[in-house]
Amino acid sequence: MKKVFFCIVSTFYLLTNATAQTNSPTDTIVSSTLNGTILDEKNQQALPYANIITLNNGKGTISNEHGNFTIDIANLKMNDTIRFQCIGYKIKELTIERIANNAPILLSENIYTLDEVLVLGTTPDPVEIVKNILAYKDSNYRTTPHKKQVFIRERSSTEFEKYKISLLKNNIEELNTDLLEKGLNSAQKFNLSYSDFLGNHYQKIDEEGKIKHKVSPIKIVKLQEKEEEDNMDGLTDSFSEILNNTQDNEYWKLKTGILSFKVDVGESQVSIGNVEKEDTINTNPTDSLINDNISKEKKSKKLYNTYMYDANQFSSLNNEKQWDFLYQPNHYNYKITGGNLVQDEQVYIIDFTPKRRGEYEGRIYVSIETNAILRADYKYAKNKTGTNINLFGVGYKQSNFEGSIYFKKVNDHYRLKYLSYQSEYSIKLNRKFAFVKKQKRKFFDKYINKIKFDVDFVQKEKISIEKLVINQQEITTDEFESYEPKEKMEITYINQFDENLWKGYTTITPTKQMKEYKKLEE
């Protein structure tokens, strides 16, 4: 996203397909959308995540990472007003007629000096303010049973810089060696995908304090790079049959060096160990096991469940790694650079940079009265990275992370309005593996079959998630329990972006790259 705190260096001029050829400001716009770009007035940098609201009907949207926005103005009039607001900037209100002149929307910065925001006339300790964010977290961001309509956009790219799997041994007669070698090396070297999800998200806290979710999709659109050839289909069928024929006194193990893992085998399912997430979302609670022959819809369901889980961990401030500057304040330098009025609430503006053991730099807006974060924008500081492991032929390095989040105060607590984060990491694997079948015996278990292969690959992956909460309402526990999500998640697969697919819906404006995206020909 390449933003410095809450601004992105990028300038795109206003484009509009609104029906502007009207004779009077009171004429009704029949059916159209208005596109534009929001910039910082001083430095002409794009302003991401600004709120755009039509005052006539309360409909709104948020500018994307490049400051671009698209808002539905169907059935409005040319003299109807649109409000533009961004934390740290003065609110601007313009009529549709004034906006439709092909000029960017310029917002001026609105940061008070420190003397103007001091409550008791003495300079507060920014470290104490940061510590209070977590101290008051549960009361400020309390989770009551609720239903919210959300729009989630996911972008991901995967690239293998190196990929080679060599089959060293196969004495399972049912597995064709040529097919096995072809399948092991059939991974696509580069893949790019975009996914848009609009749906209702139900949430509650159970008696043990765990967050429970249910998801009801309204519409899902997916653009994906050319799909890899189905070299694995026959191999998967053969392997599933072999696993399902495992007898009660037999078992499988995955071995690498001195390490080994027992593989639990059941009909149409494989799992290693008993690892599971405590906070997992399923559109159907019974659909939680991995099936080798799972459909594209079910695979996507699990993927969206993961996105929901990760976004929830980020917005709840529970991920200590992502919120290191809150959990480890002694690793950072903090400075109160001024103040601002946000949603009629006085806030401190605090900038932070890492010390030797810190990782992030950024800016947070903290309520003076409640100690709640209203907005945060941060990223890895220069020459800083996340987890970096390189041991025994296994490597993992997180080379980039950028996050932004915005909360809106409702009554006496705060609700998520928008979040985005992107991460970039690489995985390296250079080890030999063996998949071994054994038979249980009294003293030494009997060896039956083995597949042994040598893995050597380096994979780079970039993931970006954006989540916009369109509306939210509190529900009762009974309403949560009574809702039964549909088993099937229908997805619209497309080869090229089409704005008409989301006409009439509240979404995040796609980037220029996404608009120009076209799936490779088969």
Residue 70 sits in a domain whose CATH number is 2.60.40.1120
CB 509 within 8 A of CB 35: yes
The model's confidence at residue 320, banded by pLDDT at 50, 70 and 90, is very high
Q: Pick the residue with more confidence: 49 or 306? A: 49
Residues 300 and 193 both lie in one domain: yes
Residues 419 and 476 both lie in one domain: yes
Residue 462 has pLDDT above 90, yes or no: yes
Sign of CA dihedral 130, 131, 136, 142: positive
The residue-averaged pLDDT of 384-406 equals 90
CB 392 within 8 A of CB 406: no
Considering the domain boundaries, does residue 26 fall inside one? yes
Highest mean pLDDT among 317-331, 383-397, 490-504: 317-331
Residues 269 and 416 both lie in one domain: yes
Residues 155 and 100 both lie in one domain: no
Residues 188 and 296 both lie in one domain: yes
Q: Pick the residue with more confidence: 267 or 154? A: 154
- pLDDT for 280 equals 38
Residue 428 has pLDDT above 50, yes or no: yes
The model's confidence at residue 286, banded by pLDDT at 50, 70 and 90, is very low
The model's confidence at residue 73, banded by pLDDT at 50, 70 and 90, is confident
Total domain count for the chain?
2
Distances 462 to 110, 226, 322, 382, 400 between C-alpha atoms, Å: 34, 18, 16, 19, 9
Considering the domain boundaries, does residue 131 fall inside one? no
Residue 407 has pLDDT above 90, yes or no: yes
Residue 267 has pLDDT above 80, yes or no: no
- Nearest partner of 308 among 203, 447, 156, 452, judged by Cα: 203
Residues 242 and 173 both lie in one domain: yes
249: containing domain? 141-321+387-515
Residues 172 and 230 both lie in one domain: yes
Domain final position from 107, 133, 165: 107
With a pLDDT cut of 90, the percent of the chain lying above it is: 26
Per-residue model confidence as pLDDT tens digits over 5-16: 333 223 222 223
The residue-averaged pLDDT of 6-33 equals 41
- pLDDT for 262 equals 84
Residues 63 and 148 both lie in one domain: no
What is the tally of helices (H) and strands (E) in the chain? 10, 24
- pLDDT for 325 equals 97
Q: How far apart are CA 465 and CA 194, in angstroms?
A: 10
Distances 263 to 237, 278, 380 between C-alpha atoms, Å: 18, 21, 38
Sequence letter at residue 1: M
Considering the domain boundaries, does residue 287 fall inside one? yes
The residue-averaged pLDDT of 249-278 equals 65
Q: Pick the residue with more confidence: 113 or 339? A: 339
Least confident of 141-155, 286-300, 388-402: 286-300
Considering the domain boundaries, does residue 353 fall inside one? no
With a pLDDT cut of 70, the percent of the chain lying above it is: 81
Residues 409 and 467 both lie in one domain: yes
Sequence letter at residue 230: D
Q: How many CB atoms lie within 10 A of CB 183?
A: 22
Per-residue model confidence as pLDDT tens digits over 95-149: 988 887 678 999 998 877 766 656 555 678 999 999 999 999 999 998 888 899 9
Least confident of 282-286, 380-384, 388-392: 282-286
Residues 418 and 280 both lie in one domain: yes
